[in-house]
Chain A
Amino acid sequence: MTSNTDDVLSRRKFLIASSAVGVAGLAGCTENNSGGSEGGDSGGSEGGDSDSSGDGSEELSGAIDIAGSSTVFPLATAMAERFQKENSGVNINIQSTGSGGGFANYFCPGDTDFNNASRPIKGEEEDQCANNDITPVELKVATDALTVIVNNDNDFIGEGLTVEQLQTIFSAEEAPTTWSDVNSEWPDEEIEIFGPTDASGTYDYFIEAIIGEEGPGHRQDYSATEQDRTIVQGVEGSEYAIGYLGFAYYSENTDSVQAVPVENDEGNYVEPSLDTALSGEYNPLSRPLFTYPAQESLAEEHVATFARYWMENSTSKEIVADEVGYVPLGDDEQQEMLDKLNAAIEEAN
């Protein structure tokens, strides 16, 4: 019985549906430009201070897949967000996989168009890419300044810290327990150490720049945390604490903690800031951040346009510094990257 009424129902539905199409012919009709291109739902605020060359003339479409470093991730999303507003036909998908994981599992197998990295590509990764006919194009997108912070009440470190002193404090070899172990003039108080976990790129770079890859390694008896917020809180709460984190977080908390000037290769103590990082004075704790588009993908217009857009905005203080917290490129560097990119695009076509 039930099946019988169902039959009636579905047959009637079918009749209605087909007659509906007929009726529709008389009602509101439009010309069919196949596919039904509905305008985007975008709207809202203006993007950055771009004067991108690609927009306006032709509607771009296609997908751009980006993977790689979680450090570069916020910068990539900030760029993508703005690009998307101007080019609603382009789908940008961004994934945080870590620099190495991005190269090995996504970029070199040809799955993604860009790979973000907080370090330059390694030889073995280039080999892997070459095996799959993928040519990475190295583009510097920003500079990250690692910042060593101490409590606001700390006045004994004076001018700042040397690389050797940082090495002493953070390496596993000496692992001093009190400040006086580092410098006998400093107070005999326990050092409380805060830092990122060993899974973070910041930790990695700190080892590379301060402790040395071959050395005894980073000490493990410190308060490791995944969140920079807790590093600031920890250092703020204890007079004899020290910690390090990305510049972005320090710049949001300049009242809560003080940044330690670090002695650079010329022997000057330099405090981290946008200017000192940009000029290269603040070293060795500033590191370049990269994105690697695949030259093969740059043959596609929407990918090339996005890469250009990113480079054109890489000097924007508004996006790179204020929103994401990295140091933007200087004009010369930007020109260099643009030339490199344009050469790669030309070669790809």
Chain B
Amino acid sequence: MATQSDTDQIQGFGQVSRTTGVIFRYLLMGATMFGIVTLAILLVYVANDAIQPLTADAGWYLVFFVTFVAPTTLVGAYLYRTNVDALKLGLLVVGMLAVTLMFSGGVAIVFVDIVPPLVSLSYAIGLLVPFAAVVLMTKYEDAIPFTARVAATGAIFFLSLFGIPGYYHSIPEMVQKIPVVPTEWVIITLVFGGVVAVVVGQYFARIRENTRAGVVAGVAALAATGAAAVSGMFTGVNPTALAVVAAGAFVPTAAYAGGAALTREEERIGLLLAAVVIGGSLVGAGIVDVLGFAGPQSWVDWQFLTSSHSGTAENAGLYPAIGGSILLMVTVAALSFPLGVGAAVYLEEYAPDNVFTRFIDVNISNLAGVPSVVYGLLGLGVFVTYLGQPTGTVLIGGATLALLILPIVIISSREAIRSVPQDMRQASYGMGATRWQTVKNVVLPEAFPGILTGTILALGRAIGETAPLIMIGAPNVLFNLPTELSSKVSAMPLQVYAWSSLFASEDFYTKAVPAGVVVLLAVLLAMNSVAIVLRNKFESES
């Protein structure tokens, strides 16, 4: 590059290595980007196939450009240049609304089609009553011996959840037998919306240091949930679902945004971005509707999300698979979280340094490397063949997937527990705390965000697994949502696989499969981003 001269010759080595260095650097960067860029291109392709953006009217694009793209870009660029923290806040609010919408949509499915609100309520009461009794007992901790307390706790929970058949009804049974009950949406509004309202109220009471403000906020939250439900009765949308979505998505997001507006004066300008994004899309949708511009003929549409499989790709839907994935996730989380955290606590806090502990240690890292299809065989062999369970149920699907992710949960929980400073434990011991008290009051609360992040990532892995479900004989097609642990279950990836292998016609390839892939990826990205946001928050705090 530079002209040749004597001095250059002397620096020749440095020159060469600098060029090499630059090339090397860019090679490394290229290598790092390779996978990410390839995946991004594939995502663009599949999104194009599923959503078909080119089929929309030019007018549709024009409207959304004016109402949505242009203002968002302007506000975003302005914030980026003036106040990055505000931009982050705005993005967080938008992201929070998107994720909570998805999440509460899932919860709505549970209440509408899996466990009716009354049944859920009856079990919630069945759990709360003994829980209250146990809390009461803890007050008299010193008066009652420990073993008696444990026995009493067990007995209370058993009696209230199962009763004594023939003599005494369990609490859920009694609640379900009440002759006159509120309608479903009223139950949801009062209980689900009520809990959210209490949390929102406490949040506002804290940030304003004013109980009255809290009460006002809580009442407003409850009123908003109720209003959403009532509006459902006029628009024909299921009011129960609306109440869940309002309480689970709109109210918390609004509360968070409101709280931020009150407390973070520097950054509250960022809420403008959220307002522009939400307002712009609503206004755009309204204008498009009035002017009659057709949007893209997306295969991912309301019909796809809410109907079940069909022999024709246009009418096929993912609903039973979505419900199945939700139920599987609940089961997997319920099994793997306590077991995984328990094992991690044992290995980090209790285990003596001996051969057996080291064996468990090596064993867990090996289990993490066992192929998922072998876990499927384990589920098939142990649960179906030896224990005689029926194939393909929520219970054995959940149990198999839980075993699969257990090593991952254990490993990430151990890391989180290990990162709790030793000083804190010693301080706790120094105050006379027992090992269990230290674990309960110091280690677990400190490690909780890390454990949660690891568990969410592991659940993300479980939600995408197909092979174990095939092995345990989960059905390829079903039409209703599973309602019990013993119902047969399908899952989103399994449904996508069934469409791509058993209905190998062009139509399913170009319509149903890309749509299914997009929904599945959207759920996974949402879970991953929650985990990443949690982790960043946790890392910046500690």
Residue positions of A touching B, CB distance < 8 A: 2-3, 7, 9-14, 16-18, 20-21, 23-25, 27-32, 34-36, 38, 41, 44-45, 63, 65, 67, 70, 73-74, 77-78, 80-81, 84, 88, 91-97, 105-106, 111, 226-229, 252, 323-324
Q: Are B475 and A16 in contact (CB under 8 A)?
A: no
Tell whether, in the assembled complex, residue B311 and residue A93 are in contact, meaning their CB atoms are under 8 Å apart: no
Q: Which of B6-14, B116-124, B424-432 is found at the contact surface with chain A?
A: B116-124
Instruction: For B185, list chain A residues within 8 Å (CB).
Output: 28
Q: Mind listing 21 A-B residue pairs with CB under 8 Å?
A: A7-B135, A10-B135, A13-B198, A24-B187, A27-B186, A29-B180, A29-B182, A29-B186, A31-B180, A32-B177, A34-B176, A74-B311, A81-B479, A91-B487, A93-B475, A93-B488, A96-B502, A106-B391, A106-B473, A227-B504, A229-B505
In-complex Cβ contact of A30 among B119, B182, B441, B475 (8 A): B182
Q: Which of B315, B473, B501 contacts A97 (CB 8 A)?
A: B473
The residue of chain A having its C-beta at the shortest distance from the C-beta of B473 within the complex is A95
A227 to B319, CA, bound (A): 27
Q: Which residues of chain B come closer than 8 Å to A3, judged between CB atoms?
A: 441
User: A81-B479, A94-B478, A96-B476 are known contacts. Are A229 and B504 too (CB-CB below 8 A)?
Assistant: yes
- Cβ-defined contact, A30 with B392, below 8 A: no
Which residue on A lies nearest to B478, using beta carbons?
A: A93
- The distance in angstroms between the C-alpha atoms of A70 and B477, with both chains bound, is 12
The answer to whether A36 and B186 touch (CB under 8 A), given A13-B195, A16-B198, A41-B306, is no
A residues less than 8 Å from B121 (CB atoms): 21
Chain B residue numbers with a CB within 8 Å of A106 are 391, 473
Residues from chain B with a CB closer than 8 A to the CB of A65 are: 475, 488
Q: Is the CB–CB distance between B116 and A77 below 8 Å?
A: no
Q: Which residues of chain B have a CB within 8 Å of any CB of chain A? A: 112-113, 116-119, 121, 124-125, 128, 131-132, 135, 176-187, 190-191, 194-195, 197-199, 202, 306-312, 315, 319, 390-392, 441, 445, 473-480, 487-488, 498, 501-506
> A14 to chain B: which residues have CB within 8 Å?
128, 132
Contact check, A29 vs B191: say whether CB atoms are below 8 A apart.
Answer: no
CB pair B312 A323 closer than 8 Å:
yes
What are the nearest 9 A-B pairs in CB distance?
A36-B116, A24-B182, A20-B190, A93-B475, A93-B488, A91-B480, A84-B479, A95-B475, A93-B478
Contacts of B198 in A (CB 8 A): 9, 12-13, 16
Contacts of B135 in A (CB 8 A): 7, 10-11
Instruction: Evaluate contact between A30 and B181: CB separation under 8 angstroms.
Output: yes
Establish whether residues A27 and B391, one from each chain, have CB atoms under 8 Å apart when the complex forms: no
Write the nearest CB–CB distance from B518 to chain A, whole angstroms: 22
CB distance from B493 to the nearest CB of A (A): 16
Q: Which residues of B contact A226 (CB under 8 A)?
A: 501, 504
User: CB-nearest residue of chain A relative to B389?
Assistant: A111
Shortest distance between the CB of A103 and any CB in chain B (Å): 14
A35 to B319, CA, bound (A): 22
Bound-state Cα–Cα, A80 to B182, Å = 36
Mostly, the B contact residues are: helix
A310 to B488, CA, bound (A): 22
A101 to B: closest C-beta gap in Å:
10
A-B pairs under 8 A by CB, number: 156
- The answer to whether A32 and B479 have CB atoms under 8 Å apart is no
Across-interface contacts of B184 in A (CB, < 8 A): 36, 38
Instruction: Establish whether residues A25 and B182, one from each chain, have CB atoms under 8 Å apart when the complex forms.
Output: yes
CB distance from A255 to the nearest CB of B (A): 15
| Bound-complex Cα distance A30 to B202 (A) | 32
A3 nearest CB neighbor, chain B only: B441
Question: How near does chain A come to B345, taking the closest CB pair, in angstroms?
Answer: 18
Chain A residues with CB under 8 A of B183: 28-30
Interface centre among A7, A12, A111 (most CB of B within 10 A): A111
Q: How far is the CB of A214 from chain B (nearest CB, A)?
A: 32
Nearest-neighbour CB distance to chain B for A97, whole angstroms, equals 7
CA distance A23 to B226 in the complex (A): 14
Q: Which residues of B contact A84 (CB under 8 A)?
A: 308, 479-480
Task: Say whether A77 contacts B179, CB under 8 Å.
Answer: no
Given contacts A11-B135, A32-B180, A44-B315, contact A17 B195 (CB under 8 A): yes
With A17-B124, A21-B190, A91-B487 given, name 5 new contacts (CB 8 A). Answer: A7-B135, A31-B179, A32-B180, A38-B112, A106-B391
A residues less than 8 Å from B195 (CB atoms): 13, 16-17
CA distance A77 to B75 in the complex (A): 51
Q: Of A2, A12, A94, which one neighbours B476 at CB under 8 angstroms? A: A94
Question: Looking across the interface, which residue of chain A has its beta carbon closest to that of B178?
Answer: A32
Nearest opposing residue in chain B for A37, CB measure: B116
Chain A residues with CB under 8 A of B477: 77, 80, 93-95
Alpha-carbon separation in the docked complex, A94 to B498 (Å): 11
Output the residue of A31, A35, A91, A228 with the most chain B CB within 10 A: A91
A162 CA to B505 CA, complexed, in Å:
31
* Contacting residue for B488 out of A11, A34, A63, A228, CB 8 A: A63
Residue of A nearest to B124 (CB): A17
Nearest chain A residue, comparing its CB with the CB of B199: A9
Nearest-neighbor residue (CB-CB) of B303 within chain A: A44
Cross-chain contact B311 with A81 (CB below 8 angstroms): yes
Q: CA separation between A78 and B479, bound complex, in Å?
A: 11
The CA-CA distance from A63 to B484 in the complex, in Å, is 12
A30 to B117, CA, bound (A): 13
Determine if A17 and B191 form an interchain contact, defined as CB atoms under 8 angstroms apart.
Answer: yes
Most buried by B among A3, A25, A74, A93: A93
Residues of B within 8 A of A105 (CB): 473
Whose C-beta in chain A lies nearest to the C-beta of B182? A24
**B310 and A38 contact, CB distance less than 8 A:** no
